[in-house]
Structure 1
Amino acid sequence: MGKKVTKAIFPVAGLGTRFLPATKSVPKEIMTLVDRPLVQYAIDEARAAGIKEFIFVTSRGKGALEDYFDHSPVLEQELRSKGKTELLEILKNTNMDSGAIAYIRQHKALGLGHAVWCARRLIGDEPFAVMLPDDVIAADKPCLQQMVEAYNETGGNMVAAMEVSPDRVSSYGVLDVADDQGEMVKIRGMVEKPKPKDAPSNLAVIGRYILSPNVLRNLNQLKSGSGGEIQLTDAIAAELTQGNDVYGYRFKGQRFDCGSKSGFLQATVSFGLARADLRDDLHGYLQDIMSVDKTAQ
């Protein structure tokens, strides 16, 4: 049994230009999905997987994201004086203990691999998770928890994977499969954003990773790859050439790409319908607009 995964890196340095003008003043990661910021879903998932140290790779203008995890004494006192214990309980989940959370600045947008590399000194020589808050995954058992349990059996490196339609492969890192065991896939290679005709499969990498500290050493050696950025995919693929295992893990759950407007809207509807306090109103409203839409046609 190797070392436990207790550290996670959250790359949140992006400008979120797809969500302008909102992201002019609000970091995309704290835009709300129903009533919780995107990043809270990632934090909750990490906690469920046993993560104890949370490392955020940020950039200028992300102060509101850092403030979000601080205690808010005035707000807490106000809620306490009004006896609003349920809201106090909700706030408790947003607070981080002193020392549990660290912020590292990425000064230039040089890609996901570079963002992970920025956190190397805080990771040291132990396995770690990487979570992209844009990928929100609705699942009975949180996705990273599923992966940590599988990783405890396999070791090596592991990436979350899902089938995408062949015409969408050029938006993803894609797995070259050596041995497909269903839930677990042993891979022989990874290709970043291939053209559909060049894709080795339609099994795409999604924003959850459990990685060996070797990957950080590989990032040290890398020159810029696809799109002039330092690609995490390349550093993971280098593990294969060094004789180390890399697995794809087909997680159980539904993934929403909240880096896109349509994905964010779909997630809002889906998470809204999953909430007992919102379901009936929202469902009724959706039925109404669908019937109006059909009549109009």
Structure 2
Amino acid sequence: MLKAVIPVAGLGTRMLPATKAIPKEMLPLVDKPIIQYIIKECYMAGINEIIFVTHSSKNSIENHFDTSFELKSLLEQKGKQQLLNEINGVLPKNIKIMHVRQGDSNGLGHAVLCAKPFVGDDDFIVILPDVIINEYKCNYEFDNLPAMIERFYLTGKSQILIERVNKEHVEKYGIVDCNNEISNSGSFNNISAIVEKPHKDNSPSDLAVVGRYVLSRDIWPLLERTPIGMSGEIQLTDALSMLLKTHAIEGYHIKGESLDCGDKMGYMKAFFEYSRQHQTFGSQFHRWIKDTVAAV
């Protein structure tokens, strides 16, 4: 099975001051940190080896997935079995997590390259941890990554998850060009170009990269020689653009919707969505929202 690379070394500047002392990946969505939803997605896709590309300030992520014997003992003594089950389920037993440091913040491309000693000269997956797939929007939340992996094995083509966005917001994303091919949710289209955060007047389309990649091993030598790009960083987008010159890449149109938890408005939307759908408190929260809106 392919290994997954999850870059968590970013400083989360879009979420300051909340992320001054707390990694953005550890910000809660109700009662679980964002990163736990990402691990769940990996588990549902059958991924059992994960490489965190991390930073010295991100120890709390490592601690979250480590075993806390004191906490488990305390919960056992107090007979809090439900909480104990939740703690035991933070990391599924068949998932192995490895950590590698990204010494300098040199961009997503550099972060991915830092994981090469663990991945080797193999194909691999990249998952951005601040973008989650909305579990409650539809029944497809765990279909996207498995479909991309299956397609990769079938065709040998690298896969990128894509989603239509408002044309006014394309400057926030990597944008792909699929030559205006007809596209529906769950369909695959050949990508002819990919650019990082284009101006809306020069954007090739409104199809944004969501933050899920299934990549051929052919990307490794390109990452090693990718020049410094936008924001003075090594961009994964630039390496993919180089890969397109010799290899086909496909875009997979997302089933459901993504939520950008690395952006304040996106995080607010995600928190609202996951709060109103919470198994225990969702109905109570939903009634509170209705009463609050009615009183305005």
Matched, 1:90 2:93: no
Q: Is the 8 A contact 2:48 2:95 kept in 1?
A: no
Distance in 2, matches of 1:98 and 1:161, equals 29
Matched, 1:134 2:135: no
Distance in 2, matches of 1:18 and 1:188, equals 30
The answer for the alignment partner of 2:26 in structure 1 is 30
Unmatched 5+ residue regions in structure 1? none
Q: Is the 8 A contact 2:43 2:92 kept in 1?
A: no
RMSD (CA atoms): 1.7
Deviation track 1:38-65 (CA, whole Å, cap 9, x = no partner) reads 0000000011111111101111211111
Task: Give the TM-score taking structure 1 as reference length.
Answer: 0.92
Higher alpha-carbon deviation: 177-186 or 270-279: 177-186
Distance in 1, matches of 2:217 and 2:79, equals 47
Q: Report the AA paired with residue 226 of structure 1.
A: M
The answer for the alignment partner of 1:288 in structure 2 is 291
Matched, 1:103 2:99: yes
Q: Is the 8 A contact 2:39 2:91 kept in 1?
A: no
Matched, 1:70 2:66: yes
Matched, 1:11 2:14: no
Deviation track 1:242-266 (CA, whole Å, cap 9, x = no partner) reads 1x11011011112111011111111
Q: Is the 8 A contact 1:180 1:186 kept in 2?
A: no
Name the SS of the counterpart of 1:91 in structure 2.
Answer: helix
How far apart are residue 96 of structure 1 and its match?
6.2
Matched, 1:211 2:212: no
Q: How does 1:60-209 map to 2 (within 5 A)?
A: 60-95=56-91, 100-139=96-135, 140-141=139-140, 142=142, 143-178=144-179, 179-180=181-182, 182=184, 183-209=187-213
Distance in 2, matches of 1:92 and 1:154, equals 38
Distance in 1, matches of 2:156 and 2:125, equals 13
Deviation track 1:165-184 (CA, whole Å, cap 9, x = no partner) reads 11111111111114445311
Deviation track 1:57-114 (CA, whole Å, cap 9, x = no partner) reads 1112111111111001111111122222222221122236699211111111111111
> How many residues are aligned here?
288
Deviation track 1:26-45 (CA, whole Å, cap 9, x = no partner) reads 11111110111000000000
The answer for the alignment partner of 1:257 in structure 2 is 260
Structure 1 residues 71 and 158: alpha-carbon distance in aligned structure 2, compared to 1, 3 A threshold: same
Q: Is the 8 A contact 1:15 1:27 kept in 2?
A: yes
Given candidates 13, 20, 23, the residue that maps to 2:16 is 20
Structure 1 residues 285 and 112: alpha-carbon distance in aligned structure 2, compared to 1, 3 A threshold: same
How far apart are residue 224 of structure 1 and its match?
0.6
Specify which structure has the higher proportion of helix.
1
Q: Is the 8 A contact 1:170 1:194 kept in 2?
A: yes
Q: Is the 8 A contact 2:277 2:283 kept in 1?
A: no
Name the SS of the counterpart of 1:24 in structure 2.
Answer: coil
